[in-house]
Amino acid sequence: MGRAGGGGARPLMVTVAATRQDTPGPPSQRRFPMSLTYQKPAYQKLERASQSYEEICLLGAAAELDLFTPLTQGAMTAAELATCREADLRAATMALDALAALGFLEKSDEAPPRYRVAGEYRELLDIGHPKTFVPMLRHRMNCIRQWVDLARTLRSGKPEVCGTSLLGAEEDYRSFVLAMNSVGIGFAAKVVDDLGEAGLLGFKHLLDVGGASGTYTLAMLERNPSAQATIFDRPAAIEEAKRRFAGTRFEARLRFAGGDFDHDELPPGADFAWVSAIIHQFGREASQALYQKIHRALQPGGTVAVRDFVMDPTRTKPTGGALFAINMLTATPTGMCYTFEEIKEDLELSGFTGVRFAVPTDDMGSIVIARK
């Protein structure tokens, strides 16, 4: 592999030589041309994409075994860490070296070497820290277990059944709940700013539908000090929310309601319903059923705000939404990412009016609102 010479504006090229002549036919019978010349940016993009699994799988495996937390508290040898985490010494050493090569760990020069989490990552990789990112790494690994069978899903149209992590199904669900906080704590402030600019923070009672541990509830209550809120989610998620708010100044302003919005009615009385990163799990019929429950629960004149990817009519933008739709393909029977027109139609069919694309973004921060 070499650089093309002369002139900075000329594209760099990669040439792959072959010895067989090109002939038409199916791939199994096709012959290679004498030379294939690729423009280097395209080749590099494919090469990077083909290797992108390596870092997340390494980080995810380390998170699953919680290799990081002891290394946020002090330096350890590979043998010490392997012992306390019941890992194979050779495998642990290779993983630690790779994590150090990537900059997530620091490795000393002494013999035997000692490892510790690099300073800027210590809060994020300590599973006990409020800002921990470890649950998201664990959740990503569970997503990967679904993605690896994507070819089968593309043929069947149905998600493949995959196994759990080493932690088991209950802990995998807890990782998902806490992963929503890992994302939310870096996202909530901007979302609430956007809600404020759209004039949507004057509510009296918030209903956080599928609110998990309450990341967005917390951010909204901070901005609206006279409001109260109800968090509705499955009982395991509600337990995480109760732990989060126990003993805080917000606890008296909160109600917790355990249930499943697939089957249960939502608690009534709110004038603002927040539906954050929920509808991509559903098909159109299930989305309408949820909107109808929200409509019944809201006070007259109340507002629903739906945060999610909102796709353009081509369904190719934003790119993150197009890829996230594949995530839903691998994990749900009918989930997908929707256009504004689809969301608008579903809300209107469910009884809402005045549907508006209040906050357009290029990520999952887009917000559509409607009135009861």
Model confidence over 186-202: pLDDT tens digits?
Answer: 889 999 999 999 999 99
Higher pLDDT, 280 or 162: 280
The pLDDT value given to residue 36: 53
Report residue 185 as tokens.
Answer: 């704590």
Q: How far apart are CA 315 and CA 325, in angstroms?
A: 10
pLDDT at 42: 87
301 torsion bin: left (phi>0), alpha (psi -120 to 50), beta (else)? left
Average model confidence (pLDDT) across the chain:
91
Residue 321: pLDDT band by 50, 70, 90 thresholds? very high
Q: Is the pLDDT reported for residue 102 higher than 60?
A: yes
H or E, element range at 190:
helix 188-197
Given a cut of 80, is residue 22 above it in pLDDT? no
pLDDT surpasses 80 at 95:
yes
190-371 folds as Rossmann fold (3.40.50)
Binning pLDDT at 50, 70 and 90, where does residue 44 land? confident
Residue 15 has pLDDT above 70, yes or no: no
Which pLDDT tens digit goes with each residue over 201-222? 999 999 999 999 999 999 999 9
Strands laid side by side in the 105-107 sheet: 76-77, 114-117, 105-107
Looking at residue 14, what is its pLDDT? 45
Domain with residues 53-126, CATH architecture: Orthogonal Bundle (1.10)
**Do the Cβ atoms of 291 and 350 come closer than 8 Å?**
yes
Write down the pLDDT at residue 28: 56
Q: Does the pLDDT of residue 305 top 50, yes or no?
A: yes
Q: Model-level pTM?
A: 0.86
Question: Could you read off the pLDDT of 124-171 as tens digits, one per residue?
Answer: 999 999 999 999 999 999 999 999 999 999 999 999 989 999 999 999
Q: Is the pLDDT of residue 37 over 60?
A: no
pLDDT of residue 186: 84
Domain ranges, ordered by start, for the chain: 13-50, 53-126, 190-371
How confident is the model at residue 9, as a pLDDT?
A: 46
Query: CA 356 to CA 132: how far, in whole Å?
Result: 35
pLDDT above 70 covers a percentage of the chain that reads: 90
